[in-house]
Structure 1
């Protein structure tokens, strides 16, 4: 009996010890799982997929503001670096939500990335995501802000540019009325009135042209064009003015190059470059127009022997209403829109324009367009214009 009782007692003690050991193992495992969750936090179901699908910037941060998940948009805007939010403004927005428990939003102007100098404009909104996380979503409004700035500058510039000829027309009309009995004065004022009216009409026409070029459907129909014909037409349009200034217009280069596009638009672009070259060239000098066709690119270069452009102004010459020499441009009747029209016309043809200049030696403006045989056509059919 005693031996049996001892055996049973031993078994009971063994079971108790084993149960305690198992309980310790279970508690250790549970604590290990909690530790793993702290180190590798998991988001609520489906959030991963939502963040990945976001076109805008989306970031999920934990209580320490470590980035748990970021959308491709957030990475491309430079909002996240080394698993942290780059900008203190976004951190402050997340902290505000964490303290108040209420969603919050802000318009922010931030640097692009941790080392970026360019700024971006964001509309950011933050809200709680469960009890642990904060979701920050940002929409990129940089382009909208840029367009607003451009629109304001354009309105200011156009108001300034139109004020001069409109004021002149009014003054000349008054002078005409006062000089009604003086035929010579009437004739002189009438000629000046005609000049100012023509200048006003030119500004208006170029504004309309520039607005059309900035529309998405600026070129509705592309044709196969002969570049020789485009250059010859642009030179002919400037022949009278060049002869009056005794400026020799010459052309040369590769023959037979072809591009797809809008012929009147490309003639305007080359015409504007030649007009500028003649205006800024000394009497008796030469303006050359050359064509080069190589490596799938057709280049039309207009070179003058004029005053040249200072290096600091080279990046601005294609801006609306920008003039290197204000006094000379007004004397020649320039509107400051010609080169901007060239830039937009060329960009609408899938090309670009480059400028080289050296003060005192002249300038070269080069239009670069895709050669027809290398151009990728996106429309179903392209009509062919007969070669000239």
Structure 2
């Protein structure tokens, strides 16, 4: 063969071989990329940002049920731990969606976290996210369930509370008719009828006060309130009851403390604390009302020498209708709303109420309120005090 043809032939052969090598390399790279795509834990574009922006719980799972992305809400609810779903119920739902391809929704009651004792109520939605991933969304409805329970308990409790005095009034009215010829019996029944009607009126008034406190405009027109005057009103309202039990009411502490708010509501709150102290104190004992004004906080403390509150009851004494001793409360005419009213009054004034107690040695209830400045205050300023 002529040597002149060898050089072009060699060049052509080299080009063919080089192109083949390049093609093989490209095919290998594509296979590798597909393998990396299959093995990758990266979620589809944009999903990361969506999950991060969710206020509710959002979780993305890969084919092995590993959590590749979880929103802050999912972590705070304790749905994810150690890159996996905590609850078998959620895993079962995810597997069903992956198997059938159909989205699923369900309401579940689950423990909060892997070691939690408190339960949470979730509305869960699960669906496919592309070909590989599963998206789980969960809406926390725990507070909604709690409010439903509170409403049911309130209706049940108020029905029970009203039933007793209403029934007594009916029976006493019948007894009065039957004893119309006996003046002494009529007088005795009339006294009991008056007592039951007063109890019914008191319960009704406390329900009205509690409803008012829970309204959005409870402090629509706040004003500067002198705490000395509030204490005087509470003492005067309870003076007769204290004297009938030979209980001394002593007052002291800082003078001229002022807060912004509603004087009548603050007087009701302090009256309830003093009335409770009288009911649960032994005859011949002493009740103290002290006012302390320091660091921008006005504290009004009511201290008694009564029976005290067991530790397990202290967190619940401010619940509506909760009674430590139901038999004693009904005997004294208590409705179980007094301390709940105190709590709401304090909160509406931007403060709180605290309790210290030792069984057998008495209790101290302290209302803490922001001190008033000398400048006028408007309703938005009250909201600011609440937030502070």
TM-score scaled by length of structure 1: 0.91
1:296–1:373 CA contact under 8 A, matched in 2: no
- Hey, what does 2:58 align to over in structure 1? 58
Alpha-carbon separation, structure 2, partners of 1:226 and 1:4: 117
Partner of 1:139: 139
Q: Which runs of 5+ in 2 are unaligned?
A: 383-388
1:129 deviates by 2.1
Alignment of 1:91-240 (within 5 A): 91-240=91-240
Paired residues of 1:58 and 1:136 also in contact (CA < 8 A): yes
Q: Name the SS for the 2:314 alignment partner.
A: helix
SS of structure 1 residue aligned to 2:219:
coil
SS at structure 1 position matched to 2:124: strand
Q: Let me know the Cα RMSD of the aligned residues.
A: 2.3
* Stretch of structure 1 that moved more, 57-66 or 167-176: 57-66
**CA distance change for structure 1 residues 145 and 374 in 2, over 3 Å: closer, same or farther?**
farther
Compute the displacement of 1:274 (Å).
0.4
SS at match of 2:121: strand
**Helix, strand or coil for the counterpart of 2:205?**
helix
- Between 152-161 and 181-190, the greater mean CA deviation after superposition: 152-161
Partner Cα distance (1:370, 1:141) in 2: 33
Shift of 1:106: 0.5
Tell me how many residue pairs correspond in the alignment: 382
Equivalent in the alignment of 1:8: 8
Contact 1:296 1:374 in 2 (8 A): no
Contact kept, 8 Å, 2:221 with 2:379, in 1: the verdict is no
Q: State the partner residue of 1:386.
A: none
Shift of 1:338: 0.6
Structure 1 match to 2:76: 76
User: Which segment is superposed worse, 220-229 or 272-281?
Assistant: 220-229
Q: Residue 221 of structure 2 contacts residue 378 of structure 2 at CA under 8 Å; is this kept in 1? A: no
- C-alpha change, 1:247 and 1:121, in structure 2 (3 Å) is same
Instruction: Check 1:381–1:66 CA distance in 2 against 1; reply closer, same or farther (3 A cut).
Output: closer
The residue aligned with 2:386 is none
| Separation of aligned partners in 2, 1:322 and 1:35 | 64
In 1: Cα distance, 2:325 partner to 2:313 partner:
10
1:363 has 2:374 as partner: no
SS in 2 for 1:238: helix
| Distance in structure 2 (CA, Å) of the matches to 1:372 and 1:69 | 49
* Distance in 1 separating the partners of 2:68 and 2:231: 59
1:279 maps to 2:279:
yes
Gaps of 5+ in 1: 383-388
| Conserved 8 A contact 1:277-1:306 | yes
1:46-91 per-residue CA deviation (whole Å, 9 max, x = no partner) reads 4334333333222222222222333333233222233322222222
Alpha-carbon displacement from aligned partner over 1:180-224 (angstroms, at most 9, x marks no partner): 101111111011011011111111111222222223332222222
* Alignment-derived partner of residue 325 in structure 2: 325
Q: Which moved more, 1:2-11 or 1:240-249?
A: 2-11
CA contact (8 A) 2:222 2:378 kept: no
Residue 238 of structure 1 and its aligned partner are, at CA, apart by: 1.0
Equivalent position SS for 1:189: helix
Q: Residue 123 of structure 1: SS of its match in structure 2?
A: strand
- Aligned to 1:250, the other structure's residue is in SS state strand
Structure-2 change in CA distance of 1:136 and 1:381 (3 Å): closer
SS at match of 2:38: helix
Deviation at 1:374, TM superposition (A): 11
Distance 2:141 2:245 in 1: 49
Partner of 2:334 in structure 1? 334
**Retained in 2: the 8 A contact 1:351–1:370?**
yes
Residue aligning to 2:385: none
State which drifts further: 62-71 or 175-184: 62-71
